[in-house]
Amino acid sequence: MHTNSRSALSNKSYISIDSLSVKTIQEIFKLTHKMSKMSFAQTSKILRGKLVTLLFFEPSSRTFSSFSAAVKKLGGTTIEYQNPLQTSSSIKGETLEDTMRVFENYSDAVVMRHFEKGTLQRAADAVKIPVINAGDGIGEHPTQALLDAYTIFQTTKSLSGLTGLIVGDLLNGRTVHSLLKLLSLYKNNTIYLLSPKQLKLGKPFIEYI
């Protein structure tokens, strides 16, 4: 999303929490708060004239629909492509990079979900337009992490000094990975992790954060 002034949010892909700083997160939260006050009785003009491609290689209902609705509510238009492995030129051997270059020709940004970890970075490296990670295999789901963190912030008024519990599939849970990375940017947080032994958070990831 672009604001009138150049900022840390402008013209960048969003693939991982790694690309964010606390300052950038604060900027996003301020913009989110401002936009939450907007009335959507009428369509906004923020994305007027912008076309966003939703390219989902993995099934999705809520994430796909929420991005589609958001772009339209903000005055933009969308190309919506689900299950491209079954219907696109990838069946004929077209590479991911070539697919991205095709959509780059008529898109201002691409929101993408893929079943294979690391694919989103490949996609972003292939084009000059922003690419937004809407789910990266068992890697990350950084847009969901921002939503979760903003929800926590609305309640606690801070993302530091928190004590929390995350329960479930920690090994494969991309939403967990992104949220833990985000919370690790702030001081004095204690997060307890509860899962079956076979689904524990991987040791390399624990060492990373």
Q: Copy the structure tokens of residue 115.
A: 């079943």
User: Could you state, in order of their start, the residue ranges of all structural domains in the chain?
Assistant: 38-136, 160-208
pLDDT in tens, 132-147: 999 999 999 999 999 9
Residue of 53, 113, 143, 175 marked catalytic: 113
Active site residue 63: yes
Q: Are 200 and 170 in contact (CB under 8 A)?
A: yes
Active site residue 177: no
pTM, to two decimals: 0.87
Taking phi first (over 0 means left), then psi (-120 to 50 degrees means alpha), and beta for anything else, what does residue 75 get?
A: left
pLDDT value at residue 3: 38
Please tell me the distance from the alpha carbon of residue 177 to that of residue 46, in angstroms, as a whole number: 31
Residue of 141, 174, 177, 181 marked catalytic: 141
pLDDT value at residue 2: 36
What parts of the chain have a pLDDT lower than 70? 1-11, 39-41, 85-92
CA Rg value for the chain: 18
DSSP SS3 for 122 = helix
Fold of 38-136: Rossmann fold (3.40.50)
Active site residue 141: yes
pLDDT value at residue 36: 84
Burial 157-174 (b: 16+ CB within 10 A, else e): eebeebeeebeebbbebb
pLDDT value at residue 1: 36
Residue of 6, 23, 37, 92 marked catalytic: 92
DSSP SS3 for 7 = coil
pLDDT value at residue 4: 38
- Strands annotated E in the chain: 51-56, 77-82, 109-114, 131-136, 163-167, 190-194
